[in-house]
């Protein structure tokens, strides 16, 4: 799986600051976020942080965490509050080869603005927030049934690693019919044609989104968390140096 190769290469190019049976901490200027927590099954939890974050906080690991829960407690105690865990799903290499285009799916553009707006008005704010599908994203696809727009997916590049995050939403009256699955597989086919790696991310309590990921043939890779945008680094420095 390409994503395995990405994290393996990042580890190899990073400076390891801590290694226990359950936790490994790395410092890397190639990290796309200030701090990333990656938990994979049957593997140590990985922490990657930028050098400026490490310079200010690495002393917190003088007490080595014995498990991921203690690691989170240490981070929180020192003011490094995390955004909240997401599942990361990807296609296994063999499954990627089975992705094909769907004849009922086509690109959406500004000419579809009226249909897109009408579709959004039929969805709840919570559904729209969870899906994060926008007409001006890097890639947008719609699935049509009898001329009706029933499901929309979009993708946008995540950093410089040629990874594209996917969002998908289906009209409330059209759910449970497999439309999201068809659309996810098609937009992932198109993402691969554009030489990007499709990434499907959702919150741990989003049962419907998890079901779409699994029915689309995606495989769970890890849980992923990042530093909350609300963390004020200046305050953090004062706290750590106190």
> Band of the pLDDT at 56, cuts 50, 70, 90?
confident
* Same domain membership, residue 103 and residue 65: no
In a domain, 88, yes or no: no
| pTM, to two decimals | 0.86
* Same domain membership, residue 127 and residue 142: yes
In a domain, 153, yes or no: yes
Q: Residue 138: which region, alpha, beta or left (left: phi > 0; alpha: psi -120 to 50)?
A: alpha
Domain of residue 74, residue span: 2-83+227-241
Using the structure block, give the residue that is written with the tokens 């029933």. 150
Give bridge partners of residue 49 from the DSSP assignment.
27, 35
For the chain, the domain total comes to 2
* Same domain membership, residue 197 and residue 101: yes
Q: Residue 129: which CATH number?
A: 3.40.630.30
48 and 31 Cβ atoms separated by less than 8 Å: yes
Residue range 223-235: mean pLDDT, rounded: 73
* Same domain membership, residue 185 and residue 117: yes
**CA torsion, ordered 171, 174, 178, 183, to nearest 10 deg:** -30
Q: Is the pLDDT of residue 4 over 70?
A: yes
């Amino acid at each position: 799986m390409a994503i395995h190769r990405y994290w393996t290469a990042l580890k190899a190019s990073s400076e390891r600051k801590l290694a226990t049976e359950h936790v490994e901490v790395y410092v890397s200027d190639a990290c796309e976020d200030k701090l990333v927590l990656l938990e994979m099954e049957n593997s140590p939890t990985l922490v990657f942080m930028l050098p400026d974050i490490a310079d200010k906080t690495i002393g917190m690991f003088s007490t080595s965490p014995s498990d991921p829960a203690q690691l989170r407690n240490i981070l929180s105690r020192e003011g490094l509050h995390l955004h909240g865990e997401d599942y990361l799903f990807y296609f296994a290499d063999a499954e990627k080869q089975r992705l094909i285009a769907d004849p009922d799916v086509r690109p959406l553009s500004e000419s579809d603005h009226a249909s897109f707006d009408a579709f959004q008005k039929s969805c709840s704010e919570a559904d729209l927030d969870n899906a994060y599908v926008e007409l001006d994203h890097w890639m947008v696809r719609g699935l049509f049934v009898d001329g009706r727009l029933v499901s929309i997916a979009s993708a946008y590049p995540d950093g410089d690693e040629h990874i594209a995050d996917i969002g998908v939403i289906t009209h409330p009256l059209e759910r449970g019919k497999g439309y999201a699955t068809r659309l996810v597989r098609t937009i992932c086919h198109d993402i691969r044609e554009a030489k990007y790696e499709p990434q499907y991310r959702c919150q741990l309590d989003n049962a419907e989104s998890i079901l779409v990921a699994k029915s689309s043939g995606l495989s769970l890779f890890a849980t992923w968390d990042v530093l909350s945008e609300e963390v004020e680094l200046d305050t953090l420095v004062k706290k750590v140096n106190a």
